[in-house]
Structure formats: structure tokens, C-alpha cells
Amino acid sequence: MTIHGTPPATRREGGRTRHRVDPTRLLLIAVAAGGAAASLLWTLVTGFTDAQAALAFGVLVALGELARIALPGQREAAPIASAGAIGYTFLLTTGADAAHHSAWQVIAVVALGLALGELPHIAVGRPPRWGDLARRLLIIEIIALAFRPFTDLLTTPSPHWWLGLCVMAALVMAAWLVDSSIAAAIRAERLRTRIGVAFRDELRAQIPIGMAIGASGILIALAASVMGLAALLVFTAPLLVTQVAFRRFAEIRLTYLQTVRALSRVTEVGGYVETGHSRRVGRLAHAVGCELGMRESDLLELEYAALMHDIGQLSLRDPIPSGATVLAPPSEQRRIAELGSAVIRETGVLDSVAELVRRQCEPHAGGGDGPPPLGSRIIKVANAFDDLVGESKDRDRIEAVLQRLRMDTESEYDADVVEALARVLNRPASHW
């Protein structure tokens, strides 16, 4: 699922779609693939141990990867596969039999399971997101190499059973932080945003599903000591319910965005604004928000508001020429903003978006209510730029409009937002 239209990591050249290679993602894929290849080779040479458990967990990982889900923010997760992989990593005993498999076998089994789970997706034309797939594998590699060499110490008779639980929980927490850091580095590189902001966004996004995956993996491993391999079925069921809930949440978010995009096209179909204006303003506003370090939830509201910023024009008896509200009198701009905000408030769930739309025409210093929100200031700049430039790619015209915006930073436009827009426009279009 793509949340912001065409992924910013792709661009079209000569009629073909080319993927922009991010160095961080490329390094991640290389490290994860290298570890998997080495593990498979080592396991083939030394042979598999506890083949029944390896087969059961491998099948679980494959099925979990087959049922992977797409989450908001262009994230991908395979909760069942990840929980099964963690459970196999932490497996100490299966019933009364001790588990003797090595870290290399864990990595090999998980790699094979992930590969088998990806095949049906590839067969129907859904190629994997290699970065997300490599992250899932790399985290298991880290946990397995840190845990499996010391399993003999945890399986010796001891009343301190909680020690193993504490070690498992600590490793899961550490792996979660590493995974969030890697995801944040990739996100910051892809969206050109600040690494600290991206890291906080990843932590917030991964806390619920990360806790569910980690807890399920540990429970599977501990329960297998008593129930044997039947624990896989018993403790995978709650995670399946959680996965369904996350999938529905992602679908609701996607429906919201699709609805907003449909509403934004009403002004274009009615001839009130130029075709593509709302889409261009939304894309520019999102890129500027990333440049200024806005967090993910604020970026989503900004995108909604930018797409619907002109919806108040539907109340006009005579459309503004070319829909350029920047050329309209201030009183007319305020009326359009107020009417658009009122329409959005009728949804009952987008009040913060309505507020961004209401205050989009205010000077950056604000009035009686103080300075307008950053999102409103960004929309004001992005809208003015597109009103004056449109679809033109003429660099002289773009520079002239930027200079005009800079001249009005004393009274109308936020200087920081204008300079952020200039930096965005100086990058290749595929980067924003």
C-alpha cells in the first residue's frame, strides 16, 4: 500500500520506472543477504538438527510472510513470521527434548521461510520491499547470534527460570531499538527529513505491533517446553487477531486519504482550480514539512489540509481566474478558507485539518489568535508558489516566484518555510 501516491524512491525516465538506490537500504540488504547465504552454506555442510522443529517453524515463518501486511507510512510487517522466527531463536526445549540447533541454523531456516513466503507474492506481481524484508531477517540474525551460543547456560537445572525470560525480553527490546534505528535511517534518507524525527516516528509506529510480536515469540518458545510444537498453533492465534486489527486500521487510513483525494478533485472538475493543483500543493507541502522536521502524524494532517485547501472555492458564484487565490483580495481569501474549514468540520473527525485550512491565508505573524500553525504557513507558501508557477518547469520562472515570496516574508510568508521550499525545489523531483 502506498500512502503518498507514487513512492518517492521511484522516478520515471524515458517511459521506464527507475528505483532510486538509497545507500543505507542497499547496505542493509547486502548485510542481511550475506548473513543468510553464509548460514545456509554452513547449515548445508554441517547438517540440520531437530529437523521436525526446524520444519514446523520454517512453515510458520513462510505462512506468516505470505500473510504480511502493509501499514501506514509505507511500512511493511509480517507479525506472524517475525514472532515465529523469534520463537525458534529462543527455543530451549521441545517438550522433554533439548533444542540443540545453532544460530546459523536459525538464520538459515528463517531465510528459507521468508523466501518461500515471498514466492506467491512475486508470482502475482507483488515484488517484495527488499528493505523491509532485509530488516526482518537482520533482526533475527542479531538475536540468534546473541542468544543461541548461551542456551546451554539457560537449560541447566536452575530455580532461576526467570533469568532466561529476562534475557529474552532484553534481547527483543534491544532488537526493536536497532530495527527502529535502521528504519529511521532509511526513512530519513527517503523523505529527506531529520533522523531524530524519523526515529521518534518509528518508535511510535512500532511500539504496538513490536510488543505483540516480541511477546508472542517469547511465549511460543516458553510454551514449547511444556506443549511441544502445538504451542505454535496456540500462541499464533492471538497474534493473528492482532494482525487483522492492524490491517483494518491501515485500510481505514487508506480510505481516509482516498476520500480526501476525491474531495480535492471536486474543485478541479468544477473548473475552480487548474487540473493537478491540489495534488501539486499536497506534494510540495509534504516535502516542505519533511524538510522542516515535522513528525509523521502532523505530516498526514498537513497532506489532508493541503489537498483540500481550496474546497471553499465551491461557494464562489464566479470562479477566480485560474483558481489562483493568491491573486484574490485578502477578504475573499479569508472567506474561502472559512467556508472550506466549515465543510471539513462536517466530517466530525478532521477538526485539526479544518483548523489548518481555516488559518492558511493569515500572515505568518498571525493576528489575535497568534501565529498560525506551521502546517497553515506551509500551505500558504506552497499554494502561492503553485498558483504562480503551475506545471511550468522553467527555472527562471521558478526563481522569480521564489524571489517574490522572499520579498513578502516580512508581512505574509514565513521565511523559514520559503527557504525550505527553495531547498526542496533544488532537489531532483524524484526526491520529493
Q: What is the pLDDT of residues 379-407, one digit of tens each?
A: 999 999 998 998 888 899 999 999 999 99
Amino acid identity of residue 350, one-letter, is L
Looking at residue 108, its pLDDT comes to 96
Using alpha carbons only, give the angle 115, 121, 126 rounded to the nearest 5 degrees.
120
Domains of the chain, by residue range, sit at 10-249, 270-431
Given a cut of 50, is residue 154 above it in pLDDT?
yes
Looking at residue 6, its pLDDT comes to 37
Domain 270-431 belongs in CATH node 1.10.3210.10: yes
The H or E element spanning position 10 is: strand 10-13
Q: What is the pLDDT of residues 66-81, one digit of tens each?
A: 989 887 777 888 899 9
Looking at residue 72, its pLDDT comes to 74
Looking at residue 158, its pLDDT comes to 53
> Residue 411: exposed, middle, or buried by beta-carbon count in 10 A (0-12, 13-18, 19+)?
exposed
- 156 confidence band (pLDDT: 50, 70, 90): low
Amino acid identity of residue 290, one-letter, is C
Distance, in Å, from the CA atom of 4 to the CA atom of 267, rounded to the nearest integer, reads 20
Given a cut of 60, is residue 410 above it in pLDDT?
yes
The region of weakest confidence among 12-16, 170-174, 249-253, 335-339 is 12-16
Looking at residue 85, its pLDDT comes to 95
For the CA atoms of 119, 124, 126, 127, what is the dihedral angle to 10 degrees?
Answer: 40
Q: What is the pLDDT of residues 92-111, one digit of tens each?
A: 888 778 888 999 999 999 99
* CB burial readout 161-199, b (16+ within 10 A) else e: eeebeebbeebbeebbeebbebbbbbbbbbbebbeebbb
- 36 confidence band (pLDDT: 50, 70, 90): very high
Looking at residue 358, its pLDDT comes to 92
SS3 11: strand
Region 35-50: what's the mean pLDDT? 92
- 365 confidence band (pLDDT: 50, 70, 90): confident
Looking at residue 17, its pLDDT comes to 40
Region 376-380: what's the mean pLDDT? 95
Looking at residue 4, its pLDDT comes to 39
Average pLDDT, the chain: 85
Region 289-312: what's the mean pLDDT? 91
List Cβ neighbours of 271 (8 Å cut-off, separation of 6 or more). Answer: 319
* Residue 255 near residue 356 (C-beta atoms within 8 A): no
Distance, in Å, from the CA atom of 164 to the CA atom of 154, rounded to the nearest integer, reads 6
Highest-confidence segment of 108-112, 269-273, 275-279, 319-323: 108-112
Task: Look at the block and give the residue holding cell 510454551.
Answer: 223
Region 319-346: what's the mean pLDDT? 84
Looking at residue 326, its pLDDT comes to 83
Given a cut of 60, is residue 178 above it in pLDDT?
yes
